[in-house]
Chains A and B, each alone.
Chain A
């Protein structure tokens, strides 16, 4: 019994130390909540940052929601902001799998569902009617910059 427990422990350690690989199967990806990896904050790297600008103005980062006195118990806006951040991370992961030489507005990138989601997140943070743009920075470098959207472009679409 104790030998079996030790073997199981060794297996868990071996699996835990293996490098993380992206899940290829969509079915497994959608049901991954049933197969938890239990790796939290294991690689403390910098996070991608989504920012927007309207009318060619300054870039404004889209960050966390403001905390309230009950946020430790229930935090709808905070967790929605974390879900938005998860979308940005997913887009970065998906684009990183593609050819690095691709233009930022290459059809294969713009067609990604994550790209559309990020565009919709960004649009929530700019005034209606203005021409606007979003960008994702990783380690303070531009990773992905959208073409100018909204204004005439959006009305035409």
Chain B
């Protein structure tokens, strides 16, 4: 088998193409910005002294520890939120499973700025919940204060990474494994702990490592809660201060990248040397278990409680978008549709641009993600792991840095068949988005491929199919759940990306929704329209997700009918 997969010219070409893509659109632009970290400000020569300063500065060490603590706790809390949602909807006959899966995904779409305002108005120290609690119980809970506030918001925001990847994995587990265990007398929690969860490990690790790295590298949430003593905000504050070129900002960014790669490597160790693939699947014939009435009531209660919590920011956003003035009160003073009228009158092109950019970027991500996963798991090309690591490093690169890097790298070149600079062409915006969201798609594709047994491919090849046909007819259909998960995460998060976008947008007619929200949220009067635009973003992405789920489910059902007819 190894000799067969070795030295396939097509695979080498693919490897080179992806390596070139990552080199031009990620590594070179980022290195052009990051080299400052290795320059001695006094002499201009190359040095590591800035890194020594990093480790000698107690504020940075403290920030590192805080970031680590927050990332770890967020993974734990996110796991608690996603486990029941994923388990109930994939292993049982559960009415509304698709809706729950789609809704459970909405928290990822947190429009910039307005999402933060909505959270403050609900959970802040003088937000609706605390105002009510103060009135009726005489005490308040600091949901949004300090590191615990960051953990709370981050887990609500990023748990869908675990939910999506874990659900894809659970759907792929061979039912017969569970049945064998049941026949041998195992049931309940023991069955889950010993059989189901271990088999779903690739998906869980994919999701959990994403949550960990994303939270570790995220600057948006700490900044909105005004928590400065974490690494990513420290880097951001130092990079974006007016007139100061403090190398420490870039040093921190380099350290974020290195640590993220380290975390990826640890995650890959957790899966190493184990085989997660199961042969008999893809038929989609997973007989889902029926719940007993009592079980069903408990399950629905848990699911609804979780959904209410995780969707509360969007509930707040809805109120904000219809509210007149909302200040130090439980609910807005009044309601009006004016904000929606305003945005539809002024900014129709934002929505089309967002749909176009996000879907193009997500498509690129799926193609690259599948290719990289395939090269890493199915070939023996040297350095293939570096593709994976390089792509994942994008998680730790602040959008601002990527944006500056693009301007620096591509400003000199012109766009094909035109004379405007390449850097300000909208296609570059799409590429920047796809680079920023590639890690999400890549993890989903990798975990999906990990669960596909090689013997299925070998069987196809023995029957005379060539590599391309095997991939097309066997591998891709079996990976479809993971591909969907990857597409949807990339699409949804690209739709609300701002930091690289704001650097690269050069005409208003090219701007996406996130930019429109930013523009509104710069003034007191823009809060309502900004929230309305945020709601539009959520709806677009939510509907996109729902329909993707429908299409995949339909495909699965059709395949299973086909299988049953053949029997």
Bound together: no
Name A residues whose Cβ lies closer than 8 Å to a Cβ of B. none
